[in-house]
C-alpha cells in the first residue's frame, strides 16, 4: 500500500532525526518527564517541507508597472513603509512529538555510544516456569473450547457413523467431540539483574547536580532494561545517615546534613545480603556524590567497599558531580585505594555535557 | 583589652613580614590569625580561628542556630555566607559563600566552621578547573578583621546563652 510505504519512510526520517540529536537528548533531561511505561515521547524539530520564500518588498527583480525604458530603478527601502502584523503561522521552533519505544531508544544509545552487549554472570541463570498454550485436551472450560478441532471431530464421527448428509450438512457436536486448548509449563531461563543507585543528598548537592544524576540514571536504566528482562531497581540516599527510598523520593529529596558515604555503603551492603544473593544476581551499583566526604569517613567507606560491595557487584560505578565549590576529593582517594580494581569505574561529571562521556565510561565495559 | 583590640594592636608588627601568627587571649577564648602579608590598610589572612573550651558540650541544634545568626551578621565579606551542611554526629556546622565567586580561571569561596569542642574558623579557598581546591589568603582590611573577631566572639556567647 502506498500510504504504508510513506508512513514507513516518514518513521525512518523521524528516527534518523532522533539519532542525529541523540547527544542533545542524552545531556538534557527534558525527555525524562515524558517517559511512559513502554515508550518515551520525544520532541523532534519540525521537518522542513519545500516551500516558496518571498523576498523583501522593493528589493529588485523583474517587475511590471508604469515605468518607461531608461527610468532610474528605485532603491530598496525607498517606498512608503508598510505596516507589519503578527503572523498567523507557527514559528520555525515548533516541535513535533514522536513516540519511541524504550527498547528502540536503548538500541540508539548502544549504537551512538558503541556500547558492548552485557555478558551476564554465568551462574546467575534462574529458571522460571512459563505457560504456553500448545496442546489440546478432552476436558476444559468452555472459554478455552477449540472450535475447529471440535467441529472436525464431530464431522469425522458423523461421517463414520453414517449420520452425515451432504444435502443437509448439519454438524452437531456431542460431549466426546469437544476439544479444549491446554497449556504446558515450559522452563525458561531468566537472568536477574539489580541496579542499586546511591545518591548524596547532603546540603552541598544542589538541584542542578541532582538533575545531572537523574538524567544519567534514566539512560543507564534504559540501557540495562534492554539487556535484562525485569531489572530490579533500588534507591539509597544519604547525607550523614542513609536509607532506602522509592524512586520519587530519590530524585526529589534535599537534606542539609553532612556527608558520610560509608552510611550509604552500609545500607547497600545490607540490602544485597538480604535481597540479592550474589550467586543469582547481576548487581550493578551506581553512586553519585559531589565527593565532599566529611572527616575520617573515607577509611570506613573504603573498608565496606573493599570487603562487601566490590566483591558482590558486576561493576561499581562512582560518578562525581562537580559541586559549585569543587571541593570533592573522594574520587582521588578512591583512585589511590582501589584504582587497580577492574570492577571500579569512576567518572567526573563537571556539568550536563559530561553525562555523555560518563555513561560511555560506565557502560562501556560490557559487564 | 578585648580580643579585637588585642589582635588589631599586633598587626603593625607584621607589616612587611610574611607568614606571621598573631594570637590574642581573653579568658577561655583564644583568637589566632595566620597572617600571610600585611600593610597599613589590609591584611591577607590565611586562617582565622577563635578557640574556646566553652563549646565543649553544646547541642547541634544550638550550633545550627548560632551559625544562622553568624551568617546574618557577616554581610561585609566578598560573598554572602550560608550554612551548607550540619553534621549531627560530629556536631559541626559548615558555612560557605553562597554562591561562590566565579571567575574565568576558577571559583573562590569562604568556608566557616562552627564545631563543638570548640572553635569558629574561617578559610578562603580557590578552585581552578581540573585541580583540587587550594586554600588561599583572604584579603581583608584591618577593620574587617576586627569585625570578624567580634562576630565570632558573639557567636560563642550566643551558643553559651542558648
CB atoms within 10 A of CB A339: 10
Rounded Cα gap, residues A331 and A321, in angstroms: 10
Give the Å distances, CA to CA, from A174 to A138, A150, A155, A177: 12, 9, 11, 5
- A326·B127 Cβ contact <8 A: yes
Q: Which residues of B touch A324 (CB under 8 A)?
A: 99-100, 107
Whether A20 shows a pLDDT value over 90: the answer reads no
pLDDT of residue A58: 65
User: Between A280 and B33, where is the model more confident?
Assistant: B33
Q: Which residues of B touch A204 (CB under 8 A)?
A: 84-85
What is the ipTM score, two decimals? 0.77
The DSSP code sequence of B134-149 is EEE-EEEEHHHHHHHH
Q: Is A265 exposed, middle or buried (0-12, 13-18, 19+ CB in 10 A)?
A: buried
Residue A138 backbone phi and psi in degrees, to 5: -80, -25
User: Between A81 and A11, where is the model more confident?
Assistant: A11
Taking CA–CA distances from A240, the nearest residue in chain B reads B87
The DSSP code sequence of A239-301 is SSSEEEE-HHHHHH----B---HHHHHHHHHHHHHHH--TTTEEEEEEEEE-----TTHHHHH
Q: How confident is the model at residue A81 (pLDDT cuts 50, 70, 90)?
A: low
Whether A124 shows a pLDDT value over 50: the answer reads no
pLDDT of residue A123: 46
Taking CA–CA distances from A255, the nearest residue in chain B reads B85
Q: Which residues of A touch B132 (CB under 8 A)?
A: 326, 329, 332
Out of A80-89, A137-146, B65-74, which region has the weakest mean confidence (pLDDT)?
Answer: A80-89
The domain spans of chain B are: 3-161
Q: How confident is the model at residue A327 (pLDDT cuts 50, 70, 90)?
A: confident
pLDDT of residue A46: 56
Taking residues B54-71, what's their average pLDDT? 92
Residues of B with CB under 8 A from a CB of A: 83-90, 92, 94, 96, 99-100, 107, 109, 125, 127, 129, 132-133
SS3 A131: strand
Residue-wise pLDDT for A228-266, tens only, equals: 777 888 999 998 889 999 988 887 777 778 889 999 999
| Strongest mean pLDDT among A84-98, A210-224, A345-359, B42-56 | B42-56
Rg (CA), chain A: 32
Residue-wise pLDDT for A31-60, tens only, equals: 555 556 566 666 665 555 556 777 777 665
How far does chain A reach from its first CA to its final CA, in angstroms?
44
Rounded Cα gap, residues B159 and B114, in angstroms: 10
pLDDT of residue A34: 56
A57 membership: H or E segment, kind and range: none
Cα atoms found within 13 Å of the Cα of residue A2, Cβ hemisphere only = 0
Enumerate domains of chain A plus CATH numbers.
Answer: 1-46+94-114 (no CATH), 128-186 (no CATH), 192-363 (3.40.50.410)
Rounded Cα gap, residues B39 and B46, in angstroms: 15
Whether A64 shows a pLDDT value over 70: the answer reads no
- A327·B127 Cβ contact <8 A: yes
Out of A166-180, A194-208, A352-366, B84-98, which region has the weakest mean confidence (pLDDT)?
Answer: A352-366
Nearest neighbour of B133 by CB, restricted to A256, A327, A350: A327
Amino acid at each position: 500500500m502506498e500510504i504504508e510505504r510513506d508512513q514507513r519512510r516518514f518513521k525512518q526520517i523521524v528516527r534518523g532525526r532522533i539519532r542525529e540529536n541523540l547527544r542533545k537528548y542524552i545531556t538534557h533531561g527534558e525527555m525524562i518527564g515524558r517517559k511512559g511505561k513502554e515508550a518515551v515521547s520525544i520532541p523532534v524539530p519540525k521537518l522542513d517541507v519545500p516551500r516558496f520564500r518571498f523576498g523583501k518588498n522593493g528589493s529588485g527583480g523583474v517587475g511590471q508597472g508604469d515605468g518607461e525604458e531608461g527610468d532610474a530603478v528605485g532603491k530598496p527601502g525607498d517606498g512608503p513603509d508598510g505596516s507589519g502584523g503578527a503572523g498567523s503561522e507557527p514559528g520555525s521552533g515548533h516541535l513535533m512529538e514522536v513516540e519511541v519505544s524504550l527498547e528502540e531508544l536503548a538500541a540508539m544509545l548502544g549504537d551512538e555510544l558503541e556500547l558492548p552487549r552485557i555478558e551476564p554472570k554465568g551462574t546467575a541463570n534462574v529458571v522460571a516456569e512459563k505457560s504456553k498454550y500448545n496442546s489440546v485436551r478432552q476436558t476444559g472450560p468452555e472459554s478455552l473450547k477449540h472450535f475447529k478441532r471440535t467441529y472436525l471431530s464431530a464431522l469425522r464421527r458423523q461421517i463414520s457413523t453414517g449420520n452425515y448428509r451432504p444435502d443437509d450438512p448439519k454438524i452437531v457436536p456431542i460431549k466426546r467431540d469437544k476439544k479444549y486448548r491446554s497449556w504446558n509449563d515450559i522452563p525458561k531461563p531468566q537472568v536477574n539483574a539489580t541496579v542499586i543507585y546511591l545518591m548524596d543528598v547532603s546540603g552541598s548537592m544542589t538541584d542542578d547536580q541532582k538533575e545531572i544524576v537523574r538524567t544519567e540514571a534514566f539512560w543507564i536504566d534504559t540501557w540495562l532494561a534492554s539487556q535484562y528482562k525485569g531489572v530490579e531497581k533500588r534507591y539509597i540516599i544519604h547525607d550523614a545517615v542513609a536509607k532506602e527510598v522509592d524512586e520519587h523520593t530519590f530524585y526529589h529529596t534535599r537534606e542539609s546534613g553532612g556527608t558520610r558515604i560509608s552510611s550509604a555503603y552500609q545500607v547497600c551492603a545490607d540490602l544485597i545480603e538480604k535481597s540479592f544473593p550474589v550467586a543469582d544476581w547481576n548487581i550493578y551499583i551506581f553512586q553519585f556524590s559531589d565527593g565532599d566526604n566529611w572527616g575520617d569517613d573515607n577509611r570506613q567507606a573504603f573498608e565496606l567497599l573493599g570487603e562487601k560491595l566490590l566483591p558482590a557487584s558486576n561493576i561499581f560505578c562512582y560518578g562525581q558531580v562537580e559541586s559549585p565549590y569543587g571541593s570533592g576529593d573522594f574520587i582521588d582517594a578512591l583512585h589511590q585505594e582501589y584504582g587497580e580494581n577492574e570492577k571500579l569505574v569512576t567518572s567526573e561529571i563537571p556539568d550536563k555535557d559530561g553525562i555523555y562521556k560518563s555513561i560511555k565510561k560506565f557502560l562501556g565495559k560490557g559487564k | 583589652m578585648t580580643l579585637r583590640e588585642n589582635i588589631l594592636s599586633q598587626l603593625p608588627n607584621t607589616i612587611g613580614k610574611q607568614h606571621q601568627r598573631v594570637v590574642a587571649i581573653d579568658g577561655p577564648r583564644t583568637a589566632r590569625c595566620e597572617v600571610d602579608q600585611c600593610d597599613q590598610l589590609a591584611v591577607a589572612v590565611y586562617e582565622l580561628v577563635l578557640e574556646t573550651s566553652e563549646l565543649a558540650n553544646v547541642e547541634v541544634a544550638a550550633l545550627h542556630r548560632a551559625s544562622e545568626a553568624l551568617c546574618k551578621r557577616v554581610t561585609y565579606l566578598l560573598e554572602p555566607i550560608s550554612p551548607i551542611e550540619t553534621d549531627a554526629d560530629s556536631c559541626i556546622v559548615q558555612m560557605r559563600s553562597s554562591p561562590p565567586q566565579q571567575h574565568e580561571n576558577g571559583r573562590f569561596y569562604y568556608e566557616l566552621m562552627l564545631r563543638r569542642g570548640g572553635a569558629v574558623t574561617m578559610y578562603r579557598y580557590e578552585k581552578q578547573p581540573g585541580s583540587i581546591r587550594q586554600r588561599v589568603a583572604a584579603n581583608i582590611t584591618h577593620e574587617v578583621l576586627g569585625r570578624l573577631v567580634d562576630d565570632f566572639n558573639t557567636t560563642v556567647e550566643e551558643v553559651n546563652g542558648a
